[in-house]
Chain A
Amino acid sequence: MRISIEHQLSVTPPAGTAHAVLQLMLTPISGPSQTVESWSVEMPGIGNAARFADAYGNSVHLVNQARPEGTLLVTVRGAVTTTDRHGVLGRVGGEPVAALYKRVTALTRAPVTLYGKFRSSKDNRIDVLHALMARVGETLRAVEATGQTQSQMSADGSQSQSQGSAPADAARPAASASDLAHAFIGSCRALDIPARYVTGYLAPGGADDEDGLSGFHAWAEAYDDRLGWIGFDPTLQLCPTDRHVRLAAGLDGLSATPLRIVPAGDGVAIQEANVSIV
């Protein structure tokens, strides 16, 4: 499927900033599930940016801007052709060893109630992962319905508002795609299964985007010794399809942050990504 993406982000450095430095993780790379047909990242200073691959294999821009005035606008445009592989990505050359993704970070501490019952499971890893995805979905959605919040699951602050979940009732914060992915990843790691955080774009489901989730999105990938990396989207409760465009991967939402800036100022506003099927 050919997917066209337009994504704008804006950030306002504090007034009087002499030198702003930005890190952009906004460039997808071609892989088993997708071919990048065209891609551009535009913002002031991008012509002079350094390009490099980070520790997780992502394509990163380092942009600097002297005396930025007002809001900096980042515009990302491109087209990606995707293939439905039922989430299976396999092993991709040049990626760090899978075991790295067993490292528990502050954002990926999952409560034992999520994964405890799978500890002694005799099922094969794929079945365990599917069951775990269902459990994470049920549990976090139940929390949402009763209005309880668990600190581990909503500990990622800025990420959770921005990553493509349905609009939340202010008094009853919904589990975002990011929360669900973190809970799933944390549970995997607790079960000694390598798992990583993935950012990307989700194309509309059907002509009128029935689930209303299209746009910037987050999900997870878990590692199986036989099949390699396999995607799991706990928000949609399925393995990524050709609706998913992979942008970046990391240990957690923090290490895959699409835009980082120093000095930070009022923070980053990620505007709605416009994703359409061509």
Chain B
Amino acid sequence: MAENLPFDEMYNPDGSVREPYRALAQWLEEQPDKALTLMQSDAEAIFRKLGITFAVYGSEEGTEKVIPFDVIPRIIAAQEWRRLSKGIEQRVKALNAFLYDIYHRQEILKAGRIPEKLILQNEAFCPEMMGLEPARGIYAHIIGVDIVRVGPDEFYVLEDNLRTPSGVSYMLEDREAMMILAPDLFQRQKVAPVENYPENLRRTLESVAPANASASPNIVVLTPGIYNSAYFEHSFLADQMGATLCEGPDLFVDGGKVYMRTTTGPERVDVIYRRIDDDYLDPLTFNPGSMLGVPGLFDAYRAGNVTLVNAPGTGIADDKAVYTYVPEIIEFYLGEKALLQNVPTYNCTDEEQRNWVLANIGDLVVKEVHGSGGYGMMVGPTSTKAMHAEFRKKIEARPDNYIVQPTLALSTCPTYINAGITPRHVDLRPYVLIGDEVRITPGGLTRVALKKGSLVVNSSQGGGTKDTWVLED
């Protein structure tokens, strides 16, 4: 059975402790009884005080919840991280080159490396972006790459998030909480800092200000408002980087430039870190019914008077159907082999592959092409027969609407549950900033599936988080 066990990041199969976890293992041993239980309750108090909450859509019990936090950190060795971050950097550079090409000459389509239809008929492709020259040629400035580990040297990219990836505030608060809860643990080894993320975010945003902006560009965070599940994060990030948090009605366009209404009169805005979806950004160009956006905003962007971060239309690069072509994309633009692997993905529009998928659905993971946040997906091994039948029907009805992947044995990390330490599956979302340079925060957000055996780590589906440590040499 040993070979079927998922890779545990702390313990070798023989029970010995893996190198990066040695200091932690010793520390855990030294803790008196109940110490972790106390830590866990302290952690909850800290998070309530910090006010880190999220909303679950469709949930009846109040809008705000505290995301579960596990007190045992997840640890990544320095050389493991070097490899990972190189692969991530390669990936985000290629994806930005792809976006530039797709919205200009479309060489990759002319070369036949990606089917033309997949891009041109894709809902996520934004024709309004054609020919636009974003500052520094960058479309996706903030990317969260979801990575899973299945072995000591085996990492897979599950998906690239190039629209408005969330969760970075949890990464920052998890670290802050951990430093309050176990300050002595940080003295036993060198952990790479994450707290410079807001400063790096600010630098990145300043570096992509439009050419006609002032020397110290005015940056705002544009939120859909308090009912958005990530509102806390929007206000947190604005606060941390010293930017103004605003909603659509706070901004207006005059003479092709964007201004913010302030008590001392209109103030020009240069860079907008927007957490509003493309479709709601500007009722004049996109969804005419949008009350969240700013009329004329896209035209001001087109006129080169403001930078939108991320650019509209970046979703074409993290589309689940385009995902399968990322290794091809890396080769085409960088002339390099992909350093990080994609999860093998079955194409249900191919009859042979579809038949195989339908016969083996109980072992597979099915995802909706345009779904996110763990909604609209099915994990075969943990689903009922009725669910299998339902998804078979769905795939048969709309084969192009689903991608199917093998169920990966996600790595496990020790997790404190019911007064005991027990392994739980984890994933990793490192956060990447792309502006004048590529800045990758060491580590990222580790999400942990708190239910025994569960592989779904999304906070909306009962997942928690852990502080993620990258050790320094």
A145 to B413 alpha-carbon distance, docked (Å): 73
By the criterion CB–CB under 8 Å, are A62 and B252 in contact? no
Main secondary structure of the interface of A (DSSP, over half): mixed
Note all chain A residues with C-beta closer than 8 A to B254.
48, 64
A80 to B257 alpha-carbon distance, docked (Å): 31
Chain B 266-286 against A: per-residue CB contact (8 Å), 1 yes, 0 no? Answer: 000000000000000001110
A255 within 8 A of B: yes
Note all chain B residues with C-beta closer than 8 A to A251.
127
By the criterion CB–CB under 8 Å, are B121 and A62 in contact? no
Of the listed stretches A3-11, A93-101, A116-124, A238-246, chain B binds A93-101
By the criterion CB–CB under 8 Å, are A55 and B120 in contact? no
By the criterion CB–CB under 8 Å, are A54 and B302 in contact? yes
A14 to chain B, nearest CB (A): 13
A86 to B457 alpha-carbon distance, docked (Å): 62
A112 within 8 A of B: no
By the criterion CB–CB under 8 Å, are A60 and B299 in contact? yes
By the criterion CB–CB under 8 Å, are B127 and A51 in contact? no
A48 to B132 alpha-carbon distance, docked (Å): 22
Q: How large is the interface on B (under 10, 10 to 19, 20 to 34, 35 or more residues)?
A: 20 to 34
Q: Which residue of B110, B253, B304 is within 8 Å of A62 (Cβ)? A: B253
By the criterion CB–CB under 8 Å, are A48 and B128 in contact? no
By the criterion CB–CB under 8 Å, are A255 and B127 in contact? yes
Which residues 284-330 of B sit at the A interface, judged by CB distance below 8 A? 284-285, 288, 295-296, 299-300, 302-305
By the criterion CB–CB under 8 Å, are B256 and A55 in contact? no
A96 to B256 alpha-carbon distance, docked (Å): 23
By the criterion CB–CB under 8 Å, are B295 and A262 in contact? yes
By the criterion CB–CB under 8 Å, are A62 and B116 in contact? no
Note all chain B residues with C-beta closer than 8 A to A262.
283-284, 288, 295-296
A168 within 8 A of B: no
Which residues 201-244 of B sit at the A interface, judged by CB distance below 8 A? none
Note all chain A residues with C-beta closer than 8 A to B255.
48-50, 64
Residue of A nearest to B132 (CB): A55
Residue of A nearest to B107 (CB): A97
By the criterion CB–CB under 8 Å, are A55 and B296 in contact? no
A248 to chain B, nearest CB (A): 14
Chain A 227-247 against B: per-residue CB contact (8 Å), 1 yes, 0 no? Answer: 000000000000000000000
B78 within 8 A of A: no
B129 within 8 A of A: yes
By the criterion CB–CB under 8 Å, are A264 and B127 in contact? no
B369 within 8 A of A: no
Q: Which residue of A50, A102, A264 is within 8 Å of B116 (Cβ)? A: A102
A1 to chain B, nearest CB (A): 31
A21 to B293 alpha-carbon distance, docked (Å): 13
By the criterion CB–CB under 8 Å, are A99 and B121 in contact? no
Q: Which residue of A21, A96, A103 is within 8 Å of B131 (Cβ)? A: A96
Q: With contacts A19-B252, A62-B253, A102-B120 known, is A54 near B128, CB below 8 A? A: yes
Which residues 117-164 of B sit at the A interface, judged by CB distance below 8 A? 120-121, 125, 127-132
10 contacts between A and B (CB under 8 A): A23-B284, A55-B131, A55-B132, A64-B254, A94-B131, A97-B105, A102-B116, A102-B120, A251-B127, A262-B295
Interfacial residues, chain B to chain A (CB-CB below 8 A): 104-106, 109-110, 116, 120-121, 125, 127-132, 252-257, 283-285, 288, 295-296, 299-300, 302-305
Beyond the given pairs A97-B106, A103-B125, 9 more chain A to chain B contacts, judged by CB atoms under 8 angstroms and listed by A's residue number, are A21-B295, A48-B254, A53-B302, A97-B105, A100-B130, A103-B127, A104-B121, A262-B295, A264-B288
